[in-house]
Amino acid sequence: MKLSKLLLSTVVASGLMAATSLANAAGDITVVSWGGAYTKSQVEAYHKPWMAKTGNKIKSEDYNGGTAEIKAQVEAGNVSWDIVDVELSDAIRACDEGLLETIDASELPDGADGTKAADDFLEGTLHDCAVANIVWSTIFAYDSSKIKTEDGPKTVADFFDLEKFPGKRGLRKNPKSNLEFALMADGVAAKDVYEILGTDEGIDRAFKKLDSIKDSVIWWEAGAQPPQLLADGEVVMTTAYNGRIFNAVAGEDKPFEIVWDGQIWDLDLWVIPKGSKNKELAMDFLKFSTGTEPLAAQASYISYGPARKSSGPLVGKYHNKDIDMGPQMPTAPDNLTNSVQNNFEFWADNQDQLSERFNAWLAG
Amino acid sequence: MSETVLAQQNSDAILSTDGIPLKQKLARTTRKLRMRAFLLTLPLVLFLVVSFVLPIGQMLWRSVNNPAGSNVLPVFAELIQDWDEQGLPDEPVFEAFVKDLQNAREKREIGKTVGNLATRVNYEMPGTRSLFTGTGRKINKVTEGPYKEALLKINKKWDDPVIWRTLKRVSRDYTPAFYMAALDHKYDDQGKMVPADDLYQIYVSNFGKTLWMSAIITFFCFILAFPVSYLLSTLPMKASNLLMILVLLPFWTSLLVRTTAWIAILQTEGVINDILVFIGLVANDSRIQMIYNQTGTIISMVHILLPFMILPLYSVMKTIPPSYMRAARSMGGTPINAFRRVYFPQTIPGIAAGTLLVFILSIGFYITPALVGGEDGILISNLIAYHIQKSLNWSLGAALGAILLVIVLVFYWIYNKLVGIDKLSFG
């Protein structure tokens, strides 16, 4: 009896010691994402469980996209970001420029149902330097307390119809997604958007369409702005990331309505800047957070679709309300009827030139 | 005659106690003193070199430096220079190109990747990035010649001589391309300089706008500052001290705070619009847009730069004795005449200092137009920031910065000719 007690206490004590030494060995990593409701969903679904599991700490930082900070840090040889949530076209470009660590997709864990990672991830979500976590979408939304839902906008063309729906519009201050949006509103079929945008006439056509509402546009840059613009009554409708609008509706009871027609969906991916001081830990976090359960868990905080097929069946309701998350996802069949996937190759090729023209157009 | 005098003087030169001619000794001592004085300023000199000369030098260098070609394609960059630009380059050039690409792909060194080359070429030939990066991904499949055919098999677009002409330009160590872009010019397919398409012209007009808005801001600052400075310099001590604090208090407040205060005041849901709607001057749904445009930039910049006009004016006016005006009046001058011919000319050094300060500060202003300028109220510094922070075309940003520097220097020079820098008085 006594002996077993002694044994037990020794085991407990050594266990404690091991735990403390583990905690001492544990490190901090800096995880950078887009802020607001989106970062919050990641904190709940990825950060907290990972910190609880490994004893490491996470410093969470916000940014507004783009690769400027990564480039500056890598070129200065002082990398303080360990893992960053980026858009696909930025991931590809930064990878090509050698700014990112390569990621071996075969190291990723299998899905919860036993599917190999390579088969479990949706097509096009695994890249040399990046692993996707979610599918998100640019949609437009309006305030149903100002415009009644019955006669509210139904199609992307309505967004550009100032006569039927007078008032200010919110658009992202970036040619990306605005040009696609304009073409679809001008009657171009979703599947032809990039083909037409590849011609000079197509670009002219898109800018001409944007011209028709230019004087009524308020430009936004951070993802948290559009719901705020709607709530403040600064705009009657605005493009936005679908999860931000959903969270304003579900979390803050705002009377916003999403119009899925003409949605432009895209991926967000984790990348590790080259020369990260905590590469191993960052990689561990990446593997953990893109696992079946964390991805499914994130979907209960924000309406972004998980990048793994095996997460799909686990997606349930909003974390504290009786709202089915499935139909809120960009990938829900009803939402995909008239939609286009952001063409990263087109934007990698044309971003510089089109930004130049977009800036000239804005200032003119 | 004069020679003998000189000789006599030499032999009679006054010697110091240790036998060295006094003149020499004096020169030695003053040199020592001068050295010591210089040593005292050494920290400042070093500081200026590190914080001023080096960064500007680096900026100027970056605006013409063109390392992508020779970094990524070291062998090819030399070979292509001998190409006569007719048809396609020869097989050895293609071989060097393929091998250099394979090398770059393998090493993946920062700043020397296929992606860096693709980005650089894409500046001059938009739409080619994926040709380079896509080829880069497949380039390791090519193991033997003929390399030209192998490359064309990967992508037919390599058949275009324009790409090779562009590559030849990109492979030179120095380039005027960024200055051309900064002045709304580009290379055409033949490699000649032509103006950029109208729809892509942005920089020259923005330089013009920056100068024009700076002039307007300087003018308003002057109009507002002159009476205030006059009051400051003539009021009794107690009242003028209070007024001075009112001028200095905003001056000591953070730029960011003052700009955001203007946002709160001027925005469509802001204080002024609320008041106008409340008293019924403006309908609720047609509130006036006073911010996020040129008006907003001008209003807030005038406010922020006003002290830079008031203070030099005040310090000069303070030195003008009031008796001058009284004398002019007593000799029969009308108040206007006395002001125009006696008082005003004496304030010119202050006006000169104030306008120069405000004008040059506005040319390079960044934070305020970024926050309240919207789309048409942004200045050239915002475009420079865009290229440094967003598009990552640092070389173009550097070229724009260098042009801005030249403009400021030219203005300084004109100013010196017109007013004379020695006449400036900051008090």
* pLDDT tens, residue by residue, B240-282: 999 999 999 988 999 999 999 999 999 888 899 999 999 999 8
Query: What DSSP character marks residue B342?
Result: I
Task: State the average pLDDT over residues B199-215.
Answer: 94
How far apart, in whole angstroms, are the C-alpha atoms of residue A189 and residue A183? 8
pLDDT digit string (tens) for B365-395?
999 999 998 888 889 999 999 998 888 899 9
pLDDT at residue number B21: 85
Tokens of B193: 């300089």
Query: A130-143 and A83-87 as β-strands: parallel, antiparallel, unpaired?
Result: unpaired
Say yes or no to pLDDT of B425 above 70.
no
With CA atoms as reference, report the closest residue to A272 among A100, A93, A89: A100
pLDDT at residue number B100: 94
B248 C-beta neighbours (distance < 10 Å), count: 13
Residues 6+ apart with CB under 8 A from A169: A159, A213, A216, A217, A218, A235, A236, A237, A238
How far apart, in whole angstroms, are the C-alpha atoms of residue A152 and residue A117? 43
* Residue B376 with chain A: CB contacts under 8 Å: 362-363
Query: A169-172 and A130-143 as β-strands: parallel, antiparallel, unpaired?
Result: unpaired
Query: A307 exposed, middle or buried (CB, 10 Å; 0-12, 13-18, 19+)?
Result: buried
Distances (CA, A) of A256 to A40, A164, A248, A252: 20, 19, 8, 10
ipTM score above 0.90: no
Instruction: Tell me if B122 and A356 make a contact (CB, 8 A cut-off).
Output: no
User: Would you say B116 and B105 are in contact if contact means Cβ atoms under 8 Å apart?
Assistant: no
Q: How far is A245 from chain B (nearest CA, A)?
A: 23
pLDDT at residue number A210: 96
Q: What residue spans of B161-293 are helical by DSSP H?
A: 161-170, 177-182, 203-234, 237-252, 255-266, 271-278
pLDDT at residue number B25: 86
Q: What residue in B sits closest to A361 (Cα-Cα)? A: B199
- Across the interface, of B111, B201, B389, the residue whose CB is closest to A68 is B389
Residues 6+ apart with CB under 8 A from B133: A92, A96, A348, B114, B115, B118
B415 C-beta neighbours (distance < 10 Å), count: 17
- What is the maximal distance between C-alpha atoms in chain B? 101
The sign of the CA dihedral B127, B129, B130, B131 is positive
Distances (CA, A) of A183 to A20, A155, A160, A173: 59, 13, 11, 17
Counting DSSP H helices and E strands in chain A, the numbers are 15, 10
pLDDT at residue number A23: 42
Tokens of B260: 């955001």
Q: How far is B130 from chain A (nearest CA, A)?
A: 6
Residues, chain B = 427
Instruction: Tell me if A348 and B133 make a contact (CB, 8 A cut-off).
Output: yes
Fold of A27-135+268-327: D-Maltodextrin-Binding Protein; domain 2 (3.40.190)
- Partner B, chain A 340-359, Cβ-Cβ below 8 Å: 345, 348-350, 352-353, 355-357, 359
Query: A217-220 and A169-172 as β-strands: parallel, antiparallel, unpaired?
Result: parallel
Instruction: Tell me if B201 and A360 make a contact (CB, 8 A cut-off).
Output: yes
How far apart, in whole angstroms, are the C-alpha atoms of residue A299 and residue A315? 6
pLDDT digit string (tens) for B307-316?
999 999 999 9
Tokens of B128: 């080619």
- Hey, is the C-beta of B283 within 8 angstroms of any chain A C-beta? no
Instruction: Tell me if B112 and A349 make a contact (CB, 8 A cut-off).
Output: no
pLDDT at residue number B127: 87
Identify the segments of chain A with pLDDT beneath 50. 1, 3, 16-25
Task: State the average pLDDT over residues B178-193.
Answer: 93
Query: What angle, rounded to 10 degrees, do the helices at B129-138 and B114-124 form?
Result: 160
Residues 6+ apart with CB under 8 A from B392: A67, A68, A71, B119
pLDDT band at B427 (very low <50, low <70, confident <90, very high): low
Q: How far is A169 from chain B (nearest CA, A)?
A: 15
The amino acid sitting at A114 is: G
- Across the interface, of A68, A93, A361, the residue whose CB is closest to B115 is A93
Say yes or no to pLDDT of B7 above 60.
no
Instruction: Tell me if B128 and A349 make a contact (CB, 8 A cut-off).
Output: yes
Residues 6+ apart with CB under 8 A from B34: none
| Test mutation, A176, A356, A357, A362, chain B, max B CBs within 10 A | A356
Query: SS3 for A90?
Result: helix
* Residue B378 with chain A: CB contacts under 8 Å: 363
State the CATH class of domain B203-423: mainly alpha
- Hey, is the C-beta of B110 within 8 angstroms of any chain A C-beta? yes
- Across the interface, of A67, A95, A363, the residue whose CB is closest to B202 is A363
Residue A85, beta-bridge partner list? A270
Cα angle B155, B159, B161 (rounded to 5 degrees) comes to 135
Domain with CATH 1.10.3720.10 in chain B: 203-423
pLDDT digit string (tens) for A273-291?
999 999 999 999 999 999 9
- Hey, is the C-beta of B173 within 8 angstroms of any chain A C-beta? no
**CA trace torsion B278, B284, B288, B289 (10° rounding):** 130
How far apart, in whole angstroms, are the C-alpha atoms of residue A320 and residue B395? 51
Query: B92 exposed, middle or buried (CB, 10 Å; 0-12, 13-18, 19+)?
Result: middle
Query: SS3 for B123?
Result: helix
Which residue's entry shows tokens 């020397």?
B112
Which residue's entry shows tokens 């036998």?
B19
Query: A130-143 and A237-241 as β-strands: parallel, antiparallel, unpaired?
Result: antiparallel
Instruction: Tell me if A363 and B127 make a contact (CB, 8 A cut-off).
Output: no
What is the gyration radius of the CA atoms in chain A, in angstroms?
Answer: 23
Domain with CATH 3.40.190.10 in chain A: 27-135+268-327, 137-266+332-363
pLDDT at residue number A66: 87
CB-facing half-sphere around the CA of B91: CA atoms within 13 A: 6
- Partner B, chain A 248-277, Cβ-Cβ below 8 Å: 274
How far apart, in whole angstroms, are the C-alpha atoms of residue A243 and residue A34? 12
pLDDT at residue number B333: 87
Query: What DSSP character marks residue B15?
Result: B
How far apart, in whole angstroms, are the C-alpha atoms of residue A70 and residue A73? 5
Chain A with chain B: Cβ pairs closer than 8 A? 87
Residue A60, beta-bridge partner list? A31
The amino acid sitting at B181 is: A
* Residue A169 with chain B: CB contacts under 8 Å: none
Fold of A137-266+332-363: D-Maltodextrin-Binding Protein; domain 2 (3.40.190)
pLDDT at residue number A246: 94
